[in-house]
Chains A and B, each alone.
Chain A
Amino acid sequence: MQDNPYKGYRPPALDKLKECGARVWSDVEMETTGGVFSGIILPRAETADAEHIVLKMRTGYNIGIRADRIVSMTVRGVKEAHYRIPEQEFPYDDSNPNVTLLGTGGTIASRLDYRTGAVIPAFTPGELYGAVPELADVCNLHTEKLFGIFSENMGPKQYIALAEAIGREIEKGVAGIMIGHGTDTMHHTAAALSYMVQDSPVPIVMVGSQRSSDRPSSDAAFNLRSAAYAAAHGEIAEVMVCMFGPTSDSYNLLHRGTRVRKMHSSYRSTFRTIGDIPLATVTPDSLRPLREGVYRKRAGRAVRIVPAFEEKVTMVYYYPNMKPDIIDSLVDNGYRGIVIAGTGLGHVNRPLYDALRRAHDRGVALYMTVQTLWGFVQMYVYETGREIMDLGVVPCDNMLPEAAYIKLGWALGQTDDLDEVKKIMLTSVAGEITEREPHDGYLVLQGGLPEVQDFLKNHMM
């Protein structure tokens, strides 16, 4: 914070500060044409205008004063903020399992950024413990900060680094692994790790928060505690996402990494398992499996890490009236794989046919998923589907579009042989394709129906 004494200020506000001998964190009294104001000068968000100076008053409130109204300023001192949770050493207990928390950034570990006025990922996992000491009740926590980035900036490099870090931790003999991750692309990373880390003997639990940890109502602590329990004591050794079940903080769900999707822009209970049921419910001190057919925790440190990713892979969300030039330009730009999210059972319009044939002829891997998210691609039902398959488009069963996109990148990262790619794509590695869709795998309760209202009256939302 020492580096720039005028953080975020531009002329004319910047000029006024300099003229008055004041800087960020100065304790000042401002004489203005509209009265006297006093407080501490705060950094200004860079996206805010250049006209105002931000003051934190003794009451704790912030206000903005127009620089051109300021007649004079008396600087009475400097009070710099140290926004920091005291970092505490984790109490080690021999009877507790060892768990590693890998940090990537995101709102589970965030703090205020004065520059932008937004939250940035900046808490070290050690500081996280300072905020959530209950973690020590269930595990001995070790932490490693791999990156400090928003989840939208996660990409192949990070997937591979994460997979390799997981391999190292398993080799060290940890009982479970947690990964702190921003929620926006958590399901992409979850899919990537599901393919890259195979036959893990221990739980790999991804966790984040929908309300940043700088607010009292944050879901971060509950998520972290539940994830810690699943990692330390859970019997399910898969790549999973651990986030709120209902919006109440009563229990979390463990979702399989390839079947999970963020379904709401802001709800706490945003993650849902699509086309199947979740693996388990979990709380900070209990875990209840919901289904059979999971990979169980095993002794030993054997794991297969398959780190590979081809970046020239893309996903096309089909819409009526899509023009062939969309596909053509992808081919011309050197894309090697395209996952299409088609309508209904997996369809696109006839004008795209030539473009798809051309792509196929040029060796581009073409795969079909459904934008309905729920249900299988069924290209034999209608003639359209059969025609599209004839063009070389391969149906991906009930793989979610994001899971298919990540998988195609991973497959093409391993081989150029399109037959081999096809084999990889259509062989389920981690539940991304299921043989059966359970009858309760598609449940989107419709609000307003009397029976649903009854359900809501009798259960915490």
Chain B
Amino acid sequence: MSHDRIYRSLGFRSGLEVHQQLATKRKLFCRCPVGLNNGEPDARVTRHMRPTLSELGEYDGTALMEFKTRKTVVYELLRDSMCTYEIDDTPPFRINQRAVEYAIEIALLFHCNLVDEIHITRKQYLDGSIPAGFQRTAVVGLGGWIPFRGREIGIRQVNLEEDSCREVRDEGHQIIWRTDRLSTPLVEVITEPDLETPEEVSAVNALIGRILRSSGKVRRGIGSARQDINVSITGGTRVEIKGVFRTSYGEALTANEAKRQRALLEVRNELYRRGITTETFEASSVDVTPIFAGGEEDLLPEGFVPGPAVRVVRLNGWHDLLATTTQPGRVFAHELAGRVRVIACLDAMPNLVHSDNPRVFGLTDEIWRTIRHAATATKEDGLVIVWGVARDVETACAEIIDRAREATVGVPNETRQALPGGLNRFERILPGPDRMYPDTDSPPTAISREMVERIAAALPEPLWEVEERLRKLGVSEWEARDLALSPWRDVFEKAASGGLLPVKRLAMILTGHRRAARRAGIAFDSIPPGEMERALELLGRRTLLWPGFVALLVRLADAVRAGNGEEERAGIDGIVKSDRLTPAMGEEIDMLVNTMMKGWTGGIGVDIDAAHRALTGEVVYALGPRADGAAIAKKIGERLRGMR
């Protein structure tokens, strides 16, 4: 918890944007089926995106940045998962009404105020992830909350929107997308920046995920939920970390981002100490291609191919700052490299060399002297070398200078991409409200009061109340969470109130054992609830012992999966009878014990305890699921004692 104090003292603030696909059959704005298709594409389309003005007459920063990258966008098309809507060659059809209802239900689960009329808004994305150049999105609810550790976490907004394309490949000036995922309906749940430590980020993320699942209206599986995490510290800026696939990653990602922001603020403070402010900041770049090309090849280290054009950027007074650590294993120069990679499309890494780590590629002191001379730089300056196609190198230099200038302010507004290991890297400038634009292709849709009342009346019980009730029954925290979202919740609650089995045992069967069974490939969840209830009852009454109970569940699961109607008709009692699952009783055990002990003479020097165990084991093995171990052990014990 001491860590928490550190984050609180930094002024750590975080908010979440959880994107969750809805379990509709069809897409949001066309009639295509939802689902991914990994087949060979049927065809391809190529497009380019241009920024446009927002409704209020301004250009969005992200849009301009993405335009600078001059990317050719290619879409892979598969007939089964897309139509002409997905390639922006047909206007949207009326919004999927089922998706609207699901979104309203979810907004209500998060205690949101509902809007009365849904207005579809276009949110610009020029990276090509959406062929129209914008995502269609709409606010459904605002100003909600969820309970968390005795306080409320604010829910700023619940949106209904279409999912984007899947990225296939991003190389140089070309990015390839697949259109199958496009327009899958999803809800976006946006929290207020109420999370105060990285640990809370993960915990609240998991809680939101569970609430979404409690609706029963969301898709499951890999990629069906993604989160963006906003992080800032005091003096820093809101930075969005995008594409977090697992809720548990949030903790490391936000902790590292807080460190990065603190490091950037330290860089700024050091710049101030050196008299470098936004106003006094100076930088320039020169062409140094001739130094690397022709003539003095001996100078070049082996394996260094600088490309057709090379330039060096001089950052006045930046000596030593480029190597400032920002995240584990990352330095400030990575901030520059990120912009160069994304905006100048120079994506073969490393894409730059800098004077605070001069040995990369083994550039000699002599080369550096020549470069320093060409750049008219002093020892106090920082130098960054970039290479590649001339036009891209020029873009790169401009971006390096822009990013370095932003260091005099502190933390730039950025969207950053989550990387494995809890690190992040630059993805784009954080978009603002200027990229929002009303969708002129869709009329506003009024939400009728009748519809809201109908949905509200059928709303599932709040998740936290269910969990609380389960905990009160005596199950553990973990089991309460599991059962609250489990299809077995009703069966559990009914059986628990019946009192035939201890609550803890019941919970273990329906959580831990269920999990183990599913891992073992047994279709546990396909057992009809009524049959499960009856099986639990038989176990509770000791009509079945544990091994018999397990054997019965396996049979039931197999029968349902195989669609074996006859077995289903035979029902539990039939299976119990035909498979002889009931425990062996008095006489049957006696007979078996007699057989086993035939010829047993005992005698002096025999280890009676070992013999007891061995004989019991043999009888239990012989009876299989029908063996009542305790009864058998007792009986054999009696016989052994009798013989003595």
Contact surface of A with B, Cβ cutoff 8 Å:
32, 34-37, 42, 45, 47-49, 51-52, 54, 56-66, 69, 79, 81-85, 112, 117-119, 131, 210-218, 221-222, 246-250, 264, 266-268, 453, 456-457, 460-461
Shortest C-beta distance, B426 to chain A (Å), equals 21
Q: Which 7 A-B pairs have the closest CB atoms?
A: A64-B117, A216-B133, A60-B436, A35-B113, A60-B433, A456-B43, A62-B119
Tell me the B81-139 residues at the A interface (CB within 8 Å): 84, 87-91, 113-119, 121-126, 131-134, 137-139
Asked if B502 is an interface residue, CB under 8 A from chain A, the answer is no
Q: Is A37's CB under 8 angstroms from B47's CB? A: no
Q: Can you list 26 A-B pairs with a CB-CB distance of less than 8 A?
A: A48-B444, A49-B446, A52-B116, A52-B117, A57-B139, A59-B433, A61-B119, A61-B157, A62-B121, A63-B116, A63-B119, A63-B139, A64-B119, A65-B116, A82-B56, A82-B57, A84-B53, A117-B440, A211-B132, A214-B53, A215-B133, A216-B49, A217-B131, A247-B45, A266-B91, A457-B40
Say what secondary structure dominates the interface of chain A. Answer: loop
Contacts of A112 in B (CB 8 A): 55, 437-438, 440
- State how many residues of chain B have any CB contact under 8 Å with chain A: 61
Shortest C-beta distance, A39 to chain B (Å), equals 10
User: Given contacts A64-B116, A247-B45, A266-B84, is CB(A214)–CB(B52) below 8 Å?
Assistant: yes
Contacts of B43 in A (CB 8 A): 456-457, 461
Contacts of B49 in A (CB 8 A): 216-217
Hey, what's the 0/1 contact readout for B39-67 against A, CB within 8 Å counting as 1? 01111111111111111110000010000
Residue of B42, B84, B142 with most chain A CB atoms under a 10 A cut-off: B142
Q: Which residue from B46, B124, B157, B433 sits with its C-beta under 8 Å from A249?
A: B46
Considering the complex, give the chain A residue whose CB is closest to the CB of B436.
A60
Expressed in whole angstroms, the Cα–Cα distance for A249 and B131 within the complex equals 12
Q: Is A217's CB under 8 angstroms from B119's CB? A: no
User: Given contacts A216-B133, A217-B133, is CB(A66)–CB(B443) below 8 Å?
Assistant: no
Asked if B624 is an interface residue, CB under 8 A from chain A, the answer is no
Considering the complex, give the chain A residue whose CB is closest to the CB of B140.
A63
Contacts of A36 in B (CB 8 A): 113, 143
Expressed in whole angstroms, the Cα–Cα distance for A85 and B52 within the complex equals 9
Expressed in whole angstroms, the Cα–Cα distance for A215 and B125 within the complex equals 10
Shortest C-beta distance, A123 to chain B (Å), equals 11
Contacts of B440 in A (CB 8 A): 112, 117-119, 212, 214
Contacts of A69 in B (CB 8 A): 116
Expressed in whole angstroms, the Cα–Cα distance for A79 and B57 within the complex equals 12
Q: Is B121's CB under 8 angstroms from A217's CB? A: no
Q: Is B438's CB under 8 angstroms from A117's CB? A: yes
Contacts of A79 in B (CB 8 A): 56
Contacts of A85 in B (CB 8 A): 53
Asked if B435 is an interface residue, CB under 8 A from chain A, the answer is yes
Considering the complex, give the chain A residue whose CB is closest to the CB of B51.
A216
Q: Is B50's CB under 8 angstroms from A218's CB? A: yes
Considering the complex, give the chain B residue whose CB is closest to the CB of A448.
B79
Q: Which residue from A58, A61, A217 sits with its C-beta under 8 Å from B138?
A: A61
Considering the complex, give the chain A residue whose CB is closest to the CB of B48.
A249
Q: Which residue from B84, B88, B122, B125 sits with its C-beta under 8 Å from A211?
A: B88
Asked if B77 is an interface residue, CB under 8 A from chain A, the answer is yes
User: Given contacts A48-B443, A249-B47, A461-B45, is CB(A217)–CB(B88) below 8 Å?
Assistant: yes
Asked if B356 is an interface residue, CB under 8 A from chain A, the answer is no
Expressed in whole angstroms, the Cα–Cα distance for A58 and B139 within the complex equals 12
Contacts of B116 in A (CB 8 A): 34, 51-52, 63-66, 69
Asked if B434 is an interface residue, CB under 8 A from chain A, the answer is yes
Q: Is A56's CB under 8 angstroms from B55's CB? A: yes
Residue of A48, A64, A266, A457 with most chain B CB atoms under a 10 A cut-off: A64
Q: Is B47's CB under 8 angstroms from A63's CB? A: no
Q: Is B89's CB under 8 angstroms from A35's CB? A: no
Shortest C-beta distance, A129 to chain B (Å), equals 14
Considering the complex, give the chain A residue whose CB is closest to the CB of B124.
A216
Q: Which residue from A34, A37, A60, A131 sits with its C-beta under 8 Å from B434?
A: A60
Q: Is A248's CB under 8 angstroms from B46's CB? A: yes
Contacts of B132 in A (CB 8 A): 211, 215-217
Residue of A58, A60, A83 with most chain B CB atoms under a 10 A cut-off: A60
Contact surface of B with A, Cβ cutoff 8 Å:
40-57, 63, 77, 84, 87-91, 113-119, 121-126, 131-134, 137-139, 142-143, 157, 159, 432-438, 440, 443-444, 446
Contacts of A212 in B (CB 8 A): 440
Task: Tell me how many residue pairs across A and B have CB atoms closer than 8 Å.
Answer: 173
Contacts of A58 in B (CB 8 A): 433
Q: Which residue from A57, A64, A210 sits with its C-beta under 8 Å from B444?
A: A64
Shortest C-beta distance, A144 to chain B (Å), equals 24
User: Given contacts A49-B446, A60-B54, A60-B435, is CB(A457)–CB(B42) below 8 Å?
Assistant: yes
Shortest C-beta distance, A457 to chain B (Å), equals 7
Considering the complex, give the chain B residue whose CB is closest to the CB of A248.
B46
Q: Is A214's CB under 8 angstroms from B433's CB? A: no
User: Given contacts A58-B433, A83-B57, A457-B43, is CB(A51)–CB(B446) below 8 Å?
Assistant: yes
Expressed in whole angstroms, the Cα–Cα distance for A36 and B53 within the complex equals 29
Expressed in whole angstroms, the Cα–Cα distance for A210 and B117 within the complex equals 29
Q: Is B89's CB under 8 angstroms from A83's CB? A: no
Q: Is B446's CB under 8 angstroms from A268's CB? A: no
Shortest C-beta distance, A86 to chain B (Å), equals 9
Q: Is A52's CB under 8 angstroms from B45's CB? A: no
Residue of B43, B57, B134, B142 with most chain A CB atoms under a 10 A cut-off: B43
User: Given contacts A214-B52, A215-B133, is CB(A247)–CB(B89) below 8 Å?
Assistant: yes
Contacts of B46 in A (CB 8 A): 248-250, 460
Q: Is A453's CB under 8 angstroms from B42's CB? A: yes
Contacts of A117 in B (CB 8 A): 438, 440, 443-444
Expressed in whole angstroms, the Cα–Cα distance for A212 and B437 within the complex equals 13
Contacts of A264 in B (CB 8 A): 89
Expressed in whole angstroms, the Cα–Cα distance for A83 and B142 within the complex equals 27
Shortest C-beta distance, A454 to chain B (Å), equals 10
Expressed in whole angstroms, the Cα–Cα distance for A83 and B436 within the complex equals 13
Shortest C-beta distance, A15 to chain B (Å), equals 17
Q: Which residue from A63, A65, A83, A211 sits with its C-beta under 8 Å from B55?
A: A83
Expressed in whole angstroms, the Cα–Cα distance for A63 and B53 within the complex equals 20
Shortest C-beta distance, A210 to chain B (Å), equals 8
Contacts of B437 in A (CB 8 A): 112, 214
Residue of B44, B48, B53, B433 with most chain A CB atoms under a 10 A cut-off: B53
Shortest C-beta distance, A219 to chain B (Å), equals 9
Shortest C-beta distance, B188 to chain A (Å), equals 11
Contacts of A457 in B (CB 8 A): 40-44
Residue of B46, B116, B124 with most chain A CB atoms under a 10 A cut-off: B116
